[in-house]
C-alpha cells in the first residue's frame, strides 16, 4: 500500500532546478552527438579524397584535385606523394610547386621539414644552387629536431665545395659536427673535412672532394596510382 505521506514530501530539488539539470544533460548529449557526426563526416570526406586520388590517371588530374581540396591530414600526405611523383618523373619545376603548396597549406604540419628538404632538393636539381644552399642551411639551423637537418647542412657544404668556397664549406661541416655530434652526418662531415684542400699555412695535403650523392627518397613511401 502506497504511503500517501511520502508523496507529499518535497523533492530534494525544485522542479525549476530539475528542468535546468535536464536541459544541461540534453545539451551535452546533443553536443556529443554533433561531434560524433562531424567526426564521421570528416572520416568519410578523407576516405572519399583518397578514393578520388586513386581514380585519377595523371599527375595533372591529381594536382587539380588537391588544389580544390581542403587542408585535411589526408590532403597533406597526398600533396607530398604528388611532389614525389613529380620528382621521380624529373619534373622538378612541378615537384617544387607541389612542395611549396604543402608548405603554404600546412605550415605547422609535423612533416614540414620533409617538404622543406624536398623543396631544397628540387631547387638543386633545377640548377638554382644559391637558393638550394640557402634552403638547406635554413633547415639545418632552424629544424634541428628533424631527421633531415644534419643531411641538409652536409648538402649545403657540398654546394660550397662545388663552388670552391672551401672556407664556407669548412664552417658548415664544423657546425654539422657541433650541432649533430651523435649523427652519421658528423662522421661524413669529418671525412669531407679531410678531403678539403689545406687551409692557409696548413701543411695538410689536398684531396679532391667527394661529389654529392643524389637523394633517393624525399618522403615516406605511400601507395599511389599508376
pLDDT band at 199 (very low <50, low <70, confident <90, very high): confident
pLDDT at 56: 83
pLDDT at 23: 58
Q: Show the cell assigned to 216.
A: 633517393
Reported as a single tens digit per residue, the pLDDT across 87-140 is 999 999 999 999 999 999 999 999 999 999 999 999 999 999 999 999 999 999
Reported as a single tens digit per residue, the pLDDT across 179-194 is 999 889 999 999 999 9
| 44 or 214, which is more confident | 44
**pTM: predicted TM-score of the whole model, two decimal places:** 0.69
pLDDT band at 72 (very low <50, low <70, confident <90, very high): confident
Q: Label residue 117 left, alpha or beta by phi (over 0 means left) and psi (-120 to 50 means alpha).
A: alpha
Amino acid at each position: 500500500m502506497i504511503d500517501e505521506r511520502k508523496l507529499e514530501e518535497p523533492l530534494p530539488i525544485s522542479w525549476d532546478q530539475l528542468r535546468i539539470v535536464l536541459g544541461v544533460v540534453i545539451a551535452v548529449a546533443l553536443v556529443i552527438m554533433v561531434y560524433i557526426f562531424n567526426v564521421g563526416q570528416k572520416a568519410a570526406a578523407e576516405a572519399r579524397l583518397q578514393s578520388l586520388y586513386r581514380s585519377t590517371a595523371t599527375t595533372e588530374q591529381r594536382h587539380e584535385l588537391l588544389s580544390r581540396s581542403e587542408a585535411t591530414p589526408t590532403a597533406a600526405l597526398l600533396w607530398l606523394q604528388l611532389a614525389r611523383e613529380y620528382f621521380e618523373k624529373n619534373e622538378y619545376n612541378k615537384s617544387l610547386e607541389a612542395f611549396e603548396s604543402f608548405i603554404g597549406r600546412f605550415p605547422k604540419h609535423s612533416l614540414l621539414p620533409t617538404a622543406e628538404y624536398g623543396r631544397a632538393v628540387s631547387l638543386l636539381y633545377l640548377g638554382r644552387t644559391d637558393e638550394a644552399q640557402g634552403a638547406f642551411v635554413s633547415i639545418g639551423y632552424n629544424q634541428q629536431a628533424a631527421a633531415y637537418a644534419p643531411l641538409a647542412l652536409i648538402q649545403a657544404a657540398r654546394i660550397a665545395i662545388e663552388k670552391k668556397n672551401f672556407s664556407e664549406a669548412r664552417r658548415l661541416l664544423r657546425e654539422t659536427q657541433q650541432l649533430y655530434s651523435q649523427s652519421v652526418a658528423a662522421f661524413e662531415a669529418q671525412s669531407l673535412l679531410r678531403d678539403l684542400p689545406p687551409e692557409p699555412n696548413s701543411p695538410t695535403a689536398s684531396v679532391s672532394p667527394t661529389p654529392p650523392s643524389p637523394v633517393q627518397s624525399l618522403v615516406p613511401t605511400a601507395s599511389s596510382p599508376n
